Amino acid sequence: MGVELGVWRGFYLNQNQPWMRWWDSQGNLLLLGEERAERERERAERAEQAQRAAVPRLLALGLTAEQVAQTLSLTIEEVQQYSQDRP
């Protein structure tokens, strides 16, 4: 399977202590389900922030709302909302 059991020290179940954890053959910690979910949520949040920042820039370059929506895989309504969110 290419996994190894090892000791990881960290915060889990409201306790900061050594825990037995699974590692892959390259030495990478295999994440628990909630850890994977949290990383995915953070990644999705960063992607949305990048889209929000890109909309006004693309509109300022002369792209239409339809072109921006297609480019960023957004709806026209999202493009309109993000363009209004400008500081």
Burial class (CB in 10 A: 0-12, 13-18, 19+), 63: middle
User: Mean pLDDT over residues 57-64, rounded?
Assistant: 96
How confident is the prediction for the chain on average, in pLDDT? 93
Domain ranges (residues) in the chain: 1-30, 42-87
DSSP state of 29: B
Say which residues have a Cβ less than 8 Å from residue 80's Cβ, sequence separation at least 6.
65
Convert 47-58 to b/e letters by CB count within 10 Å (16 or more is b).
Answer: eeeebbeebbeb
Q: According to the model, what pLDDT value does residue 37 have?
A: 97
State pLDDT tens for residues 28-56: 999 999 999 999 999 999 999 999 999 99
Q: Tell me which amino acid residue 46 is.
A: R
CATH number of 42-87: 1.10.10
